[in-house]
Amino acid sequence: MTKPKVVVELPLNQILKGDCVEILNSLPENAIDLIFADPPYNLQLQNELYRPNMTRVDAVNDHWDKFASFGDYDKFTRQWLTACRRVLKKTGTIWVIGSYHNIFRVGAILQDLDFWILNDIVWVKTNPMPNFRGVRFTNAHETLLWAQKTKGAKYIFNHHAMKALNDDLQMRSDWTLPLCTGKERIRVKGAKAHSTQKPESLLYRVLLSSTNPGDVVLDPFFGTGTTGAVAKKLGRHFIGIERDEGYIQIAQQRIEAVQPAPEGSLGPENPRSQPKVPFGALLEAGMLAPGQRLYFGPKGEPSAIILANGHIRCGETVGSIHQIGRAITHAPCNGWENWHYVDEQTGMRRKLDELRQVIRLQAESSMVGGDSKGEKTPFAVEIAEPKAEYAGFRVEIDQSGKIEEAHDTVLAYANSQRYAIRIPARVKRDVLALLKLRGWSKKRAVTWMFAAGIFLLLQDVWERLSEAAIDLEYPGYEDTIRNMLFRFAQKKGKSIGHHNVLFRAVGRASIAHKQALHVFRRKYKEDHIVKLSEVMSLTD
């Protein structure tokens, strides 16, 4: 009789105390997305170091960094790397950091264990410790080895995120970052809590480049918890292994104090994983038309005519947007990024990629919010009386910069408080384009967007309201806007009485009007900038 398989759950977001090899061997196989390891460097310091002014250097001299011989160090390294290999997913990768004292030995053992090295990264320190004896070059760098468990397996590399982090230049394998100093350096009674604490900026690059939100990151030498702190900040899970109780307590306090990044702020997914959109889809959707002119670049570069079959013609040459771009530059070319169309509303050139993103958003969302045949659609909602303790919470709401206009829109409310949000022109344009593709009239799409903005303005105080007086921006559509607000409230699990939403003229002397106008003119700073994902979250 076959014994049932025992399922061991991962101890997510926990620090496990004990020997790293023993704990790794107790975890389930093929379960970890990424391992970051900062093992002992085996520095083998023979004497104390002193600066020229005879002050002692606070160097690494911890008991955990001492090994009797290179053979003992190699044996230890092979044990923990073997245990790491066992828990790593087939698609997983491992990062190991070290100095010239140990990294070559670690690299050889990695290869002996059939890891496949993807990169070696040189961390160039902007503020390295000098060589006080003056007998060698200053050690101004450390090396990180990045390897995959299985040669040829698919692994995560967020190329576009790293390029964006590097001012739209492909990130190289030399990273110039400072040592951990100042407020970031954890100290206990004035002394360094950990002699080799790594800067968060280093782990930020490691995790951003090779994991996605929700992935599990394991650190077998957790120390004071830099890996866990950055993982929490970036929306990743962590598992830490550490045998020193003092380090564990410091790491726990440190990680508890970290505020995770807000939902939706962790950046777009890898474009390569997004649905492919052929250029012809823009013609089919009516976003571009045969005979329309495209421009290569944002200024006066070559132009091309769109053909009905989705190709373009530049002079006598016909081909795809990528082929014609390659013919112009004599180099590989992403046509979505280089070809521009003229926005009819603003007269400005915009990248074709913006239209591609609209098509992708349309595919991801049905954008329903009512009957496509009618302008006014009632919604069945739960109507609840406001709580008595909130009976006096009344606000006036005004808008500066209409939804249908090409610039930003600012919505503001005021009573004893003032609050304003800015809806960027690009967000409005993308949403309105999607609604147009759904067959909505311009007026209906504009009122939906206006209602969405009102809800996003009020969502944090929604259930406290006893009255929301909205300026008469769109006369005749008050019921439509009110019903849309109820729909959004229901979707977000909120409720509000029908009598709470009123429409009346909000005069120029009102605080709400002045607040919206000043924020629109950038005399005051907005409290929040609306993201496309926030508007999309209001769709069904």
Q: Do residues 376 and 480 make contact, with C-beta atoms less than 8 angstroms apart?
A: yes
pLDDT tens column, 169-204:
889 999 998 887 777 778 877 777 767 788 888 999
For residue 20, count other CB atoms closer than 10 A to its CB. 23
Amino acid occupying residue 459: Q
Beta 88-98 vs 141-148: how paired, if at all?
antiparallel
pLDDT tens digits for 501-535? 888 877 777 888 888 988 998 888 889 999 988 88
Both structure tokens of 377? 């659609």
pLDDT at position 537:
83
Tell me how far apart the alpha carbons of residues 26 and 14 are, in angstroms, rounded to a whole number.
Answer: 15
Q: Tokens standing for 132?
A: 């006080």
Residue 343: predicted pLDDT: 79
For 97, the 3-state DSSP assignment is: strand
Distance from first CA to last CA of the chain, Å, rounded?
A: 50
Report the half-sphere exposure of 260 (CA within 13 A, side-chain side).
Answer: 15
**How far is Cα 206 from Cα 215, in angstroms, rounded to an integer?**
13
> Residue 12: its pLDDT value, please?
93
The pLDDT of residue 127: 76
Q: Which residues pair with 50 in a beta bridge?
A: 56
Q: Which residues of the chain have pLDDT under 70?
A: 1-8, 42-67, 132, 194, 263-274, 345-346, 361-392, 495-500, 540
* Three-class SS state of 382: coil
**What is the b/e burial string over 315-336, where b = at least 16 CB atoms within 10 angstroms of the residue's CB?**
eeeebebbbbbbebeeeebebb
Report pLDDT for 210: 96
Contact of 496 with 463, CB cutoff 8 Å: yes
Neighbours of 385 (CB within 10 A): 12
Residue pLDDT, tens place only, 239-273: 999 999 999 999 999 999 998 877 656 665 556 66
3-state secondary structure at position 538: coil
The pLDDT value recorded for residue 218 is 98
CB-facing half-sphere around the CA of 166: CA atoms within 13 A: 18
Tell me the three state secondary structure of residue 449: helix
Whole-prediction pTM: 0.54
What pLDDT, on a 0 to 100 scale, did the predictor assign at position 376?
36
Cα–Cα distance between 501 and 478 in angstroms, integer? Answer: 10
